Amino acid sequence: MSGPPAAGRKQVHLAAQLPGIHNVTVWSDPRARSQIAFDSFLHLAQTAERGRFDFFFLAEGLRLREHKGQLYDLDVVGRPDNLTQLSALAAVTTRLGLAATVNATFNEPYEVARRLATLDHLSAGRTAWNVVTSSDAFTGENFRRGGFLAEADRYARAAEFLATARELWDSWADGDVRADAVAGAYLRPGAGRFAHRGRHFDISGRFTTPRPPQGHPVIIQAGDSDTGREFAAAEADVVFSKYNRLDQARSFYRDVKGRLARHGRTPDRLKILPTATVVVADSDAEAAAYADEITRAQVSPQTAIAHLEAVWGRDLSGYDPDGPLPDIDPDPDSLTLKGHSLFRRGRAETARRWRALAERRGLSIRELVIEISGGQTFVGAPRTVADAIDHFVQTGGADGFVLVPHLTPTGLDDFVARVVPLLQEEGVFRPDYTSRTLRDHLGLPHDRGEDTADPAAEEEAS
C-alpha cells in the first residue's frame, strides 16, 4: 500500500521519453517494435500514465542526420511530427503531461503559439514546450536558402520568440469567451489583439486561439552553456540536464538554482530533471549483467567507429574497434557527422582527453566509447533502484528524472510495475494524480500573464 507524502522529504518527479533521436535504443533487439508506429507511442505513454509520471516527452530532429554522406540510421530515422503525435495521445490519456521539442530557430511565434495553445486545450492543460535553438547550417538548408542563425544570435532570438509567444497567449483574457446569448455577445471585442515590435519579430494582428488552460504551457529548456543556464533561470519551468553522475549533478543543480533569485524566482519554481536509464532485474547481479549486455548492444563495433569518426573528422573504418585509438590527429575542418550538435566544437581537446583516458585505463576504441557513453544510470533489483533514485533527489542532485528506455516501447514496463510502488510506499512519489494539469503535477502556479484587455478598444468596438 502506498504511503502518505514523507514529511521533510522532496517528492520525486518522473517523466518518460520515447528514444530514437540518439543511439540509446536497441532497435535490433527482437523484442523491439516500431519507432514510428503510433502503437509504440501509445504503449509508452499509457505505461507512463499508469505509473503516475508527470509527463511524456518527444524530442525532435529537423533533418535526417548523415554520417560520411549517408543516412545515420543508428539514430533510428523517420520520427513523425511530435505535436501531431501528442494531439492523438491527448485523446487516449487523461492526466499525463504531453511535452514536445519545438525549435525556436526555424519556426515562427504565431504558428508555434497557436499549435501549443491548441494542444493545451485538447489535453485540458497538459502541454509543455521544450524550447531549443539551432546554429547548424546543415539543418537550416531544410528551411531557408543559406539559412541558419549565427550562434551568438540564437538565444537572443529564442528569448524574443518565447516572449512573443507569451504575448500571443496573453492577448486573450480568461473571460474573453462570453457566450452570452441574452446579450448577443460571444467574444470580448478586443480579444486576441496583439502587436510585437522587436529585433527578430515585427508582427501584429489577432491571435485566433483563446488563452490556454494553464495560462502558458510549461516551458522546458536544456542548454548547458552559461548563456543557456541563465536563460533557463530566467524563463524555464523545467530544465533537462545531462548530468546523471551525482557529483556533477549536484554542481549543476546548485549553479542553476542559485541563478533564480536575481530573476525574482524561488528554487521551487524550476524543476531540474536529468536524463537517465534504468535496468531492473530480480537481483543486483542479474541487473548488472543485463546492463552490460544492453550497453554493448548500444555501442556495437559499427557505433564505436562512427562515434570516433565524429570527433576525428576522418574515415576510420580501417581501424579495429577492439584495438587502440588512432595515432593521427583530428581534422579540425572536417565533419563526418552532420545534423548533430555532438562534438561540433572542441574536437581536438576531446580527442586529447579520450587518448589520455584510453592510455591510463588500457581501453580499446569500443571500450572507450562505452566508458564515455556512461552506461546505464540506475541498475539493480527494484529496491536498489528505488533507493538510488530517492537518494539522488534527496541529496540535491535533481528534482527527478526523464527516463529513456533502451527498448521501444516496453522498456519502462518493469520500472512502473516494480519500482514505482516502492517509491510510493516511501511517500516520495504520488500514489495517484491529485489534479489534471501539468503545472499542478510539477507544483508550479498557473501562469496567467497580464490581462491585456483594452477597455477603450472594447468600448470603441461596441
Q: Do 183 and 81 fall into the same domain?
A: yes
| Per-residue pLDDT band at 223 (split at 50, 70, 90) | confident
The pLDDT tens digits of the residues spanning 410-439 come to 999 999 999 999 999 999 999 999 999 999
Does 202 reside within a domain?
yes
Residue 65: the pLDDT is 83
In a domain, 4, yes or no: no
Predicted local distance difference test score (pLDDT) of residue 22 = 66
CATH number for the domain including 109?
3.20.20.30
Ligand-binding annotation for 101, yes or no, is: yes
Q: Does 283 belong to an annotated binding site?
A: no
Residues 129 and 36 in one domain: yes
Q: Are residues 301 and 399 in the same domain?
A: no
pLDDT (0 to 100) of residue 28:
84
Q: Is residue 455 part of a domain?
A: no
Question: Per the domain annotation, does 326 fall within a domain?
Answer: yes
Query: Are residues 270 and 392 located together in one domain of the fold?
Result: yes
Residue 8 covered by a domain: no
Q: Does 80 sit behind a cis peptide bond, omega within 30 degrees of 0 on the bond before it? A: no
pLDDT by residue (tens digit) across 64-108?
888 888 887 766 777 789 999 999 999 999 999 999 999 998 899
> pLDDT band at residue 130, thresholds of 50, 70 and 90?
very high
Domain boundary among 331, 358, 373: 373
CA 318 centroid distance within chain: 36
- CA 32 to the chain's CA centroid: 22
User: Do 137 and 35 share a domain, yes or no?
Assistant: yes
pLDDT-derived band at 26 (thresholds 50, 70, 90) equals confident
pLDDT above 80 for 182: yes
Per-residue pLDDT, averaged over 241-258, amounts to 95
Domain of 347, in residue numbers: 285-373
Query: Is residue 211 domain-resident?
Result: yes
pLDDT of residue 457: 33
302 in the same domain as 241: no
Is 155 one of the annotated binding-site residues? yes
Query: Which residue in this structure is represented by grid cell 577492439?
Result: 322
- State the chain's mean pLDDT as an integer: 90
Same domain assignment for residues 308 and 387: no
If asked whether residues 369 and 383 sit together in one domain, one would say no
7 assigned to some structural domain: no
- 6 vs 59 pLDDT, higher one: 59
**Cα 259 to Cα 265: distance, rounded to the nearest angstrom:** 9
Q: Residue 356 has which C-alpha cell?
A: 589520455
**Rounded to an integer, what distance in angstroms lies between the CA atom of residue 423 and that of residue 382?**
10
Q: Residue 146: what pLDDT?
A: 58
Q: What is the DSSP letter of 5?
A: P
Among 373, 390, 420, identify where a domain stops. 373
Q: Which of 83-92, 225-234, 255-264, 360-369 is least confident?
A: 225-234
Question: d(Cα 320, Cα 257) in Å, to the nearest integer?
Answer: 45
Contact assessment for residue 422 and residue 384, using Cβ atoms and an 8 Å cutoff: no
Q: How many domains does the chain have?
A: 2
The answer to whether residues 413 and 343 belong to one domain is no
Whole-prediction pTM value?
A: 0.92
Could you give the 3-state DSSP secondary structure of residue 152? helix
Q: Return d(Cα 376, Cα 374) in angstroms, integer.
A: 7
pLDDT at 135: 73
Q: Which of 17-21, 227-231, 402-406 has the highest mean pLDDT?
A: 402-406
**pLDDT score of 67:** 84
| Cβ neighbours around 145 below 10 Å, total | 6
User: Is 227's pLDDT higher than 80?
Assistant: yes
The neighbour count for residue 333, using CB atoms within 10 Å, is 6
* Whether 352 and 397 share a structural domain: no
**Residue-level pLDDT at 35:** 87
Is 256 inside any structural domain? yes
CA-to-CA distance for 53 and 154, rounded, in angstroms?
32
Same domain assignment for residues 254 and 233:
yes
Q: What does the alpha-carbon distance between residue 309 and residue 248 come to, in Å, rounded to a whole number?
A: 27
355, 373, 391 — which closes off a domain? 373
The radius of gyration computed from the CA coordinates of the chain, to the nearest angstrom, equals 23
Measuring CA to CA, how many Å separate 446 from each of 58, 136, 217, 232, 237? 23, 35, 9, 18, 11
Q: Which residue has the higher pLDDT, 421 or 184?
A: 421
Q: Are residues 307 and 240 in the same domain?
A: no
